[in-house]
Every structure is written in C-alpha cells, then in structure tokens.
Structure 1
Amino acid sequence: MVKTISGIANYTATDLDRFVEDLNRDGICVIRGVFDRNLIGEWAQAFDKLFRDRQNQPGGLAPREIARYYLTLPWISPFANTEVFANPVIMGILERVFYQEYVMVQLGVDVPFQGSDYQETHRDYRTLFTDNIVTPLYALAVNFPLVEVTSENGPFQMARGTHVIPREEGLRKIATGEIPMESFYMQPGDVMIRTPLALHRGSPNRTSQPRPMVVMGYVMHWLHTPKVDLTLERDYYESLPEKLRQMLRCQVVDQLPKEKVETYVNFKY
C-alpha cells in the first residue's frame, strides 16, 4: 500500500521525493492544491482588512519599490493555523531537505499594486561563504497566493538553477537568454517552495486589484535572521505541541502589540 499525505490533493512519499529533486535541481517546486480554497478565501478577506489598518499606522508597511509592499502577519485567526504553517505536505518536503533541526522565522505577505514595476533581479540571502562554494539548501521560502496569479497581476519570476552558480554568472546567463526568467502562475491553494538564493524578481501588477502572496520562511536552526520576526501570544504558544513550539523561533508575549512597525526593508542581495 502506498502511503499518502493528505492535503486537498493527496501526495505519496514518491511525489514528495520528486518535489525535493525539483527543489535541489531548479531551486523551486510548485505543489498544486495543498490548501482548501475556502481557507484561502478566509485569509484573503482578513488580509484586506489588515492591510487597510496597516496603511494608517506609521511604519505599518515596508516599501518594496514602487507600489509594492511587505507586511508581517499577526499570529491571530485565521493566520495562526497549524494546518498551514505545519502542513504535512510542506513539512514532508522540509524534512527531506533540511538535514538538521529547522525553525520557522517568518510569516508575511508581499503585495504589488497597479503601478508596480519589475524589481531588480536579486537574491533574498547572501551565500554562506563565497559564491564559488555550492552550499546545501539552508533556507527556504514557502509561498502561496491569496488570489489567482496570472500574467497580468505580477507573477513571481525566477531563473531556475541559479542558486548553484555564482551570482554574476547567473546574471550574465539571464541577460543572454541562456537561462530564462520564468513566470510562475498559481491558483488559490497552490504552494511554491523555493530557495532564496535563486535569482528572482517581482513583476508588474497591471490590474486594478492587489496580488497578495504569503511567504513563510524556514531556515536551519543555526542561521541568524534578524530582519524577520514572529511574535506569539503565550496562551496560543503554550497550546501547541512541543514539536511545533520547538519549530517556531519567536518572541512570546502576554498580549500582541496593537501596532506593528515593519523592519524587513532591505531584502536584495
């Protein structure tokens, strides 16, 4: 009997192994139908209200060039959801990639609006040592959209395989067309797992509606990540199983602050 890991779509251990092969080779894999569309709808509705509130708070949004913003999600319903940040399909892949303990360090949203432009092609992290040493996947971004991602509303773009070559070599190959800059289209419920070391960029949103993309960041336990943070209320944190508490690198407080000043402003390498 083939063991399956249930999401909305069922994936076997062989499927997860294949996703990991894609991730190691290309720096990215896309998994269809991981989350229920109703769950995504709840997140989208809550995000719309949160974004409006943050717009009225000094420092409540981190600018990401023209008409593009980043904000950290609060650990409240519906965002504080073990079915999302500890989803068995996602965990199955992370556990195949990270050979030591790993921690979750980030829960935020990138959102371009009409008027946004192409970002400069970049990495989200520096290499561990030097560009000439290929390092294992020590950090991963797990992305999922709150709306359908089309060619018109700012799809994430990435050059496959550029996580294992020097940055300047990757930029040259992108410029000559040897490695294409590929757009990734997604439906609500789909999940994309990628290495932040692959060269990538945001593209313009040419529609009248925002395109929110959630990012959950997971890293090897020894990696220092001062630009992102998680803050959980004590009651919620203590209600989690011990394994999940150990997985969260977070500040535990008695009550969440009412206002959030974003610090993750510099993000390009």
Structure 2
Amino acid sequence: MIAEERKPQTTYDIAQIMGGLYGDGIIGLKGAFSREWAQQLGEDIAVLYEAALKRPGGAVGRGPKRHYVEIHPEGIRGFVELCTHPWVVAVCEAVLGPGYKIVEIGFDVPNPGAVPQPWHRDFPAPDDTLVGRRLNSLAFNLTTVDVTEEMGPFEVAPGTQWDLPEGFEHGMFPPKSLYPRYERKAQQKMPQMGDISARSALTIHRGTANTSDIPRPALVLGVDAPTANNAERHDLQVTRAYYEALPESLRQHLTCRVVDKLEPIVQAHTIEGLMMGEA
C-alpha cells in the first residue's frame, strides 16, 4: 500500500502545535503524504463529486461555482492512513485532548469561475472559545492539486479566531467595516500535493477567485473536543464490516452511526451567507 511506503515522523513539538493554533489559528505539515497518495485521493474525490452533483441534496453550494460534499469514510481509500497519521494524532491530542472525536469527512471544490467569498467563520464561536479561551474543534485540509495563485487559494486572517463576534451576521459573517483589517492580515495558502494543514474554523477566512481552468478540490476532516457539538451538523456513517475492520485506536475516536447499508447524505450544514459570494 502507498501508506506503508512513507515513514512519517512520529514525535512533534507540542508547544509549536499549541502556539501555532492558539496564535495564528492555522499550522501545516509539508509532505505528510506522498504525491501518489494525494493523487489517489483526488481520483476518489472526482468520482464522489460527480455522483453527488447528480443526487438531490448531495452537494451544497458554498458560493457561485463552489460546492461542499460530505462523504462516507469508506468512500476514500486513505481514510485510515489520514486519521492515524502521527501528526494528525499529535495535533488532536495536544489541542482537543485524548478524548477527541472525528465528526466530519468531506471536501470543498472551488471550480473555475468561483468568485471571492465574504470573510467568515464556518460556524459561530462557542462559549468554550468566547469565555474559556479554548479551541474545542479543528479542521484538517488536504489539497489534491498543487495550488497556484490562479486557482483561488484559501485566504486566512491569522489570530482572528479570538475576535468577539460583535456585529457578526449569524455569528459568522463580520461587518464589512472590518474587512480592511482582515485584508491587512491576510495570508494566502498554496499547499502542494501531500501537504496537510490544521486550523480553527473560527479563524476568519475566505476562498478567493478561481481564475484558472482547473478545479481545486480539498479534503476536510472535522474533529471535536468532548465539549463540542459539531457532530450534530454532520452524519458520519460506516458499515458494520468496515467499522469492525478499523484499528481500535481509530474506532474509539469516531462519532458515527454504524449501519448495515450506507445511506445517502443530505448535507445539513448549509451556510446561506456564502451563496452570493462577496458583494
């Protein structure tokens, strides 16, 4: 298997992980997976995306020419390798604690012609963050292509995971009066195949315009601390045979339904404010 060919580092600097996610709100690991592994992921996503677009409720809009698709873990060949990667485990344990729970797997696709999104959070900040100043969830992202400036790279305003949501529409969309501050802080991320990042979904961010002729798919893995409730927005399912074949070290971190037959996922986490793009 491809995953057996790589020899990932197994120890990581916890202070660096904590400092990055509590500071900028985003960190990354270059070359976490082989390019072949990322290419295989891209092949799986292409098949799932085509099927989702044909199914009512299979893909949800994230703005013009953009979609999000929630998937079943067994729909991609690299799910176990992803979730058990030593860096992923180290980041989850450091920030979310040993009882962390995997609650979401899906992918975003900004297609050619996608326009800039408004600055936003993926969901309202919880009391754990607003009052307790703790991060209780993380999103991991992996690209299936080598990202260029023309592909509409992800843009983030570091440190804004701690901003109070004063005047934020739905607790997620800051007023346009704050845009100049975000634009001054903005960093565009251009990962290559095999790279992985972890971020707080509360850090203010947006997708930029994809002026290329190439889609930019990115896998999303959502993970919660025991105090978070993001599982309510998702429907992680695995078949009984698949679940029983998983390593016990992974099973104990899955918040999922174990079913005899996988059911089509109707995405529940719509973000209405993204549908029109940036005004």
Give the TM-score normalised by structure 2.
0.85
Match of 1:243 in 2: 249
- Identify if the C-alpha distance between structure 1 residues 100 and 90 changes in structure 2 by more than 3 Å, giving closer, same or farther: closer
Could you list the per-position Cα deviations for residues 165-222 of structure 1 after superposition, in whole angstroms to 9, with x for gaps in the alignment? 3234986554146842211110011111000111111111111111001110001123
Which residues of structure 2 form unaligned runs of 5+?
A: 168-173, 275-279
C-alpha distance in structure 2 between counterparts of 1:254 and 1:80, whole Å: 22
Could you list the per-position Cα deviations for residues 114-155 of structure 1 after superposition, in whole angstroms to 9, with x for gaps in the alignment? 121111111112222398635211000000101111111011
Residues 115 and 204 in structure 1, CA contact (< 8 A), matched pair in contact too: yes
- Identify if the C-alpha distance between structure 1 residues 131 and 42 changes in structure 2 by more than 3 Å, giving closer, same or farther: closer
Match of 2:203 in 1: 198
Identity percentage over the alignment? 30
Match of 1:3 in 2: none
Question: Could you say which structure has the higher helix fraction?
Answer: 2
- Identify if the C-alpha distance between structure 1 residues 147 and 173 changes in structure 2 by more than 3 Å, giving closer, same or farther: same
Choose from 19, 27, 30 the match for 2:28: 30
C-alpha distance in structure 1 between counterparts of 2:182 and 2:200, whole Å: 21
How do 1:74-93 and structure 2 match up within 5 A? 74-76=72-74, 78-79=76-77, 81-93=79-91
Report the alpha carbon displacement of residue 243 of structure 1 after superposing the two structures with TM.
3.0
- Identify if the C-alpha distance between structure 1 residues 137 and 160 changes in structure 2 by more than 3 Å, giving closer, same or farther: same
Match of 1:68 in 2: 66
- RMSD of Structure 2 on Structure 1 (CA): 2.5
Letter in 2 for 1:146: T
Match of 2:9 in 1: 10
C-alpha distance in structure 2 between counterparts of 1:9 and 1:103, whole Å: 22
Question: Which stretch of the first structure deviates more once superposed, 223-232 or 176-185?
Answer: 176-185
C-alpha distance in structure 2 between counterparts of 1:153 and 1:117, whole Å: 11
Choose from 221, 232, 238 the match for 1:232: 238
Match of 1:213 in 2: 218
What SS does structure 2 have at the residue aligned with 1:21? helix
- Identify if the C-alpha distance between structure 1 residues 134 and 116 changes in structure 2 by more than 3 Å, giving closer, same or farther: farther
Residues 107 and 215 in structure 1, CA contact (< 8 A), matched pair in contact too: yes
Residues 8 and 35 in structure 1, CA contact (< 8 A), matched pair in contact too: no
C-alpha distance in structure 2 between counterparts of 1:149 and 1:167, whole Å: 31
Letter in 2 for 1:241: P
- Identify if the C-alpha distance between structure 1 residues 177 and 46 changes in structure 2 by more than 3 Å, giving closer, same or farther: closer
The number of equivalent residue pairs is 262
Letter in 2 for 1:227: R
- Identify if the C-alpha distance between structure 1 residues 261 and 200 changes in structure 2 by more than 3 Å, giving closer, same or farther: same
What SS does structure 1 have at the residue aligned with 2:23? helix
What SS does structure 1 have at the residue aligned with 2:20? helix
C-alpha distance in structure 2 between counterparts of 1:81 and 1:264, whole Å: 21
